[in-house]
Structure 1
């Protein structure tokens, strides 16, 4: 299972890739595998202000519908319009072409509440052991 080391992860299985004040958001490889074949995505409107932890999008798969939560507070700047025609991009390339939206992150310190790649790997492996605090 892929867990890129260049981003932060939420316990609800979203990722945040920060590039300055802009954050790309998507779902993890683990999430897309759990959902199975994704058939529809409802994305937030550009210009929407979102709060960290707020449900901002919906994904429907052959198994279920799931809310997607924003991993950071900010304004939605862009959405991945390709997902309207090809929602399966989230299955085939969840960290690349399957991204959901980009936000202008208002409080970069919120990343301290997200998981590192190492901690996220332990979370999805079912590990109860906490990593050492730096």
Structure 2
């Protein structure tokens, strides 16, 4: 549910900026988040591409089928020979490399972002949802 709003926030924000870069959303998943991100961003954001890393042998066959059969030009899932922690570490290391981030912006026209729990645009809707449900 939170990811649907997150994709809409990304889309709205990119339309508000002058000379906006496209967003490249990098996601590590242990199964469920990746499919939800691909679904949300393919429906609600026309200025965002998504790459999902998942552990090739660390998710169920149903989850792997959901990720690898998703057919949308802006969403790709990549199976990695490693565990979820390796996928997460790979994405975090990309964000820590400011030169790589600049390269993606200058050469390819992308702003790097994430839809994992490290992104506030994903956390905020979840906080509101849980607070509302509790009250």
**Larger helix proportion, structure 1 or 2?**
2
Indicate the structure (1 or 2) with the bigger Cα radius of gyration: 2
TM-score (norm 2): 0.29
TM-score (norm 1): 0.29
